[in-house]
Structure 1
Amino acid sequence: MTLRSRPARTGIALSIGALCAVVLAGCTEGSEDSGSPTEKPTPTSSSSKPSSKPDEKLGKQAEAALDTVTIDDPEFVESGLETLSDGVHAESLLNRGKSYQLGVSCAGSGTAELSVHVEGKPVVRRIDCDGTATYERITEASTRLGIDVEGEPGASGMVAWRISEM
């Protein structure tokens, strides 16, 4: 085992420290205004993924069109909010024999297809994504109600839906 004296260990530590300082100085020297590849890239916008702020605004617009019944009202049954690209695919449990109203609102651009599945054939309607509400009456309800909303090609926005007792 070889022991080094304190001055030798101190010299080695100073040498390592000096070497680190030289390496760090070399990495940052001249990079401020040189336009070298070490500059941070500038973020760019992408048209394939919309930001969440327009979706939030469109969501509020779609929900506002359906504000005739609020969650605190005894008539309120169920509601939801989805992006039009995801679509709405919901199945709601209802009380057999009662009457309900389904409201759907799409805010954005283009058109969407609304399918309401009650016993028998589905009722299919095209709706504009202009922020206005479309209503469908369900009389003598079965125990299940299926709701599907799909955006037509090129359509975008938010879809709100609400079921209330009549």
Structure 2
Amino acid sequence: MALLGNPDMIHDLRLTRRCATLLVPILSVAFIVGCSSGSADRGKPSKDPKPSASPSPTSDRTKVLERRAEEALGIGEADDTGDRFVESGLERASDGIHTYSALSNGESYTLSVVCSGAGQVRLAVTVKRSVRQTVPCDNVPVRQRITNAPAQLKIDVDGLAGSSGIVGWRIDELTT
């Protein structure tokens, strides 16, 4: 009884209870976070991934097809026709192209589209009305002249069943 009557001992017990009351929730949260973060991070690449010894065949094939499409469209080369380059792009055939290109209203342009790979893609160009055509993935560009152009040209390309590869497009303003 003498110990319980000691004011220092009662004060120490209160501090111990306060510390325990604060530490239990903190330690519980730390335990839960520590246990759950390991399972959530499984399957994710590490923050410092090691480079692979050789690139995957898919990426090599994609790069080859991209280079073929760029060469077919003359992307990156000087234009010897005198036409002015406006814009271009490359996408996977499975993703397609869905873009609005800003043009100078009333001017004339050439749209070139090429598919490198296998299968076919469906090209739809909307000037005043939508014009559709099928483009084989044979690396041969399809060109369409656009006269009296609108302020925005809508271009949609979708891969047909079984198609794979790269679709490229290029717009040039015709000079007179």
TM-score class, shorter-chain normalisation, is 0.5 to 0.7
Kindly report which structure 2 residues correspond to 1:14-33, keeping only aligned pairs within 5 A, or say none: none
1:99-147 deviations in whole A, cap 9, x for unaligned? 000000000000110000112x201000000111000100000100011
Does residue 59 in structure 1 map to residue 66 in structure 2?
yes
Asked if the contact 1:69–1:75 (Cα under 8 Å) also holds between the matched residues in 2, the reply is: no
- Whose helix proportion is higher, 1 or 2? 2
The number of equivalent residue pairs is: 117
CA contact (8 A) 1:69 1:76 kept: no
CA distance in 2, matches of 1:80, 1:98: 21
Q: Higher mean Cα deviation, 66-75 or 128-137?
A: 66-75
Which of the residues 118, 123, 126 maps onto 1:109?
118
What amino acid does structure 2 have at the position aligned with 1:159? V
Q: CA deviation at 1:86?
A: 0.6
Q: Give distance in 2, aligned partners of 1:71 and 1:163.
A: 14
1:71 offset after TM fit, Å? 7.2
Contact 2:70–2:76 (8 Å) recurs in 1: no
Compute the displacement of 1:63 (Å): 1.2
TM-score by length of 1: 0.66
Relative to the length of structure 2, the TM-score reads 0.62
CA drift of 1:68 comes to 7.5
Tell me which residue corresponds to 2:173: 165
C-alpha spacing 1:68/1:54, structure 2 compared with 1 (3 Å): closer
CA distance, structure 2, for counterparts of residue 85 and residue 60 of structure 1: 18
Name 2:84's counterpart in structure 1. Answer: 75
Identical-residue share of aligned pairs (%)? 44
Moved over 3 A (4+): 68-74
Distance 1:69 1:50, change over 3 A: closer
Task: Quote the offset at 1:79 in angstroms.
Answer: 0.3
**1:62 Cα offset (Å):** 1.0
Structure 1 counterpart of 2:30: none
Gaps of 5+ in 2: 1-55
